[in-house]
Amino acid sequence: MPAIEILGLEKTYSVGFWRKRPKRALFPLQLTVEDGEIFGFLGPNGAGKTTTLKLLMGLVYPTSGSARILGQDWNEPAVKAQIGFLPEQPYFYDYLTAHELLEYYGQLSGVPAKQRSHRVNEVLHQVGLPDVKGLQLRKFSKGMLQRVGIAQAILHDPKVVFFDEPMSGLDPMGRHEVRDLMDELKYQGKTVFFSTHILSDAETLCDRVAIIHKGELRGVGAVEDLTSSVQGKIEVIWQGTQIPAAMKALGAECHVSGDRVRAIVDEKQQDAAIDALRRERQQLVSITPVRTTLESYFVEKLRRAETTAGKTV
């Protein structure tokens, strides 16, 4: 039995105050997520990821279509007891402490009274917030709120969790912890469905991803399959103000700033670039892979589609 089956969910908002115009946020979406998968829902900002998640959570109603979660109608309270949800940039009752908030959510989700406080401490520890007793949420930083958000999503030991941009607002350390957490959830046999606009997050975690753009599904599959066509880039920085001719020959875009030069070259040219610098005895400062965002993935894809079209004309 698949964990999530999205059966043609579709949403058209009417926008405008006086003269309502329809605005399509999501074209009919067909998607199946298997039990125990970590599934990435990818797309640039405004692609329809949050709309899809809100539809699945019953926060907005679909124009048509339906969904099944764990084999049942997705709006059944019985289903909701078995799912967890982290909204994008979560915000909570700021007059409560983290413990009070989770206690309250535990009540609403039907966590038995006897286990509640134990469970609250457990998840707070799990998300890396062990010492926040007595501190009201209004005093929490954005990153801490994100952690509380993850805690409340897994509090009631759900079978399926939905995370909307779980990495946002977190520092690199936090991102790493969240990745580990998702791996652990998978290990526990849970299904994780999360949205992100950062490709690398998906690459390291997901069994499969779906890519959505402008409300339409563009592809489903393993990350490598989808992104292999896009070449990676690296950033090379060295001391000095000189730009070796060999470097220029590689087609690098170079910028001098202060006493350093920053160059972007294709991943394939990495060795050649290093050789060129060594020959000129330049002092290398760093080499970093440039994180490919979904935007650049799409920019790349669209640009290539355009050039192909241009050639045929």
Partner 1 sequence: MNRRIAYIASNTFREAVRDRVLYNLIAFALLLSGAAILVGQISIEIEKLVVINLGLTAVSLFGVVIAIFIGIGLVSKEIEKRTLYTVLSRPVRRWEFIVGKFLGLAGTLVVNTFFMAIGVFLALFYVSHKFVKADALILIALYFIILEFLIVCSLSLLFSSFSSPLLSAVFAFSLFVVGSFAEDLRNFAGMAHGISRWLATAAAYLVPNLSAFNVISSIAHEQPVAGQLILHNTLYALFYATMALSGAVLIFEHRDLK
Partner 2 sequence: MKSRRKITIMASTLLVLSLAASAFVLHCTDKLRPQATLDEVLFISSPTLVKRASLGYDGLMACIYWTRAVQYFGYRHHYYAASYNLLAPLLEITTHLDPHLIVAYEFGSSFLAPKPPHGAGEPERAVALMKYGIENNPDNWHLYYDLGFVYYMELHDYKDAEETFERGTKVPNAHPFLKIFAAQMAQHAGEYQTARMLWSATYQTTQEKQIKQNAIDHLRALRVDEDVDHLQDAVTRFGERTGRLPANIWELVSAEGLPGIPLDPDGHPYKMTPQGRIELRDPDAFPFATKGLPVGYKRKYGGMN
Footprint of partner 1 on this chain (CB under 8 A)? Answer: 13, 54, 57-61, 77-78, 80-81, 83-85, 87, 89-93, 95-96, 104-105, 107-110, 149, 152-153, 156, 162
Contact region for partner 2 (CB under 8 A) — 71-79, 134-142, 172-180, 247-255?
A: 71-79
Distance CA 40, CA 155 (A): 22
Look at residue 13 and give the partner it binds from partner 1, partner 2, none, a contact being a CB closer than 5 to 8 Å depending on partner kind: partner 1
Look at residue 250 and give the partner it binds from partner 1, partner 2, none, a contact being a CB closer than 5 to 8 Å depending on partner kind: none
Tell me whether residue 75 or residue 97 sits nearer to partner 2 (CB atom): 75
CA dihedral 70, 74, 75, 76 (to 10 degrees): -30
> Residue 5, interface with partner 2 (CB under 8 A)?
no
Q: Which of 34, 73, 235, 275 binds partner 2 (CB under 8 A)?
A: 73
Distance CA 39, CA 267 (A): 27
Contact 136, 94 (CB under 8 A): yes
Tell me whether residue 66 or residue 97 sits nearer to partner 2 (CB atom): 66
Nearest-approach distance from CB 103 to partner 2, in angstroms: 28
Nearest-approach distance from CB 9 to partner 2, in angstroms: 12
Contact 244, 282 (CB under 8 A): yes
Contact region for partner 2 (CB under 8 A) — 12-20, 69-77, 127-135, 276-284?
A: 69-77
Q: Which residues ranging from 227 to 286 are in contact with partner 2 (CB under 8 A)?
A: none
Query: Which residue is listed with tokens 């979904």?
Result: 294
DSSP per position, 240-276? SS---HHHHHTT-EEEEETTEEEEEEEGGGHHHHHHH
Q: Which of 12, 32, 63, 66 binds partner 2 (CB under 8 A)?
A: 66
Tell me whether residue 18 or residue 91 sits nearer to partner 1 (CB atom): 91
Nearest-approach distance from CB 57 to partner 1, in angstroms: 4
Nearest-approach distance from CB 56 to partner 1, in angstroms: 9
Closest-CA residue to 226 (of 297, 309, 304): 297
**Residue 62 region, left (φ>0) first, then alpha (ψ -120 to 50), else beta?**
beta
Reported in sequence order, the residue ranges of the chain that DSSP labels E, i.e. its strands, are 4-15, 21-33, 38-42, 64-69, 72-73, 83-86, 160-164, 191-196, 208-213, 216-221, 233-239, 253-257, 260-266, 284-289
Label residue 200 exposed, middle or buried (CB < 10 Å: 0-12, 13-18, 19+).
middle
**What letter does residue 137 receive in the DSSP assignment?**
G
**What letter does residue 35 receive in the DSSP assignment?**
T
> Residue 75, interface with partner 2 (CB under 8 A)?
yes
Tell me whether residue 215 or residue 244 sits nearer to partner 1 (CB atom): 215
160-164/191-196 β-pairing: parallel
Contact region for partner 2 (CB under 8 A) — 27-35, 72-80, 120-128, 209-217?
A: 72-80
Tell me whether residue 39 or residue 85 sits nearer to partner 1 (CB atom): 85
Q: Which residue ranges make up the site for partner 2 (CB under 8 A)?
A: 66, 73, 75-76
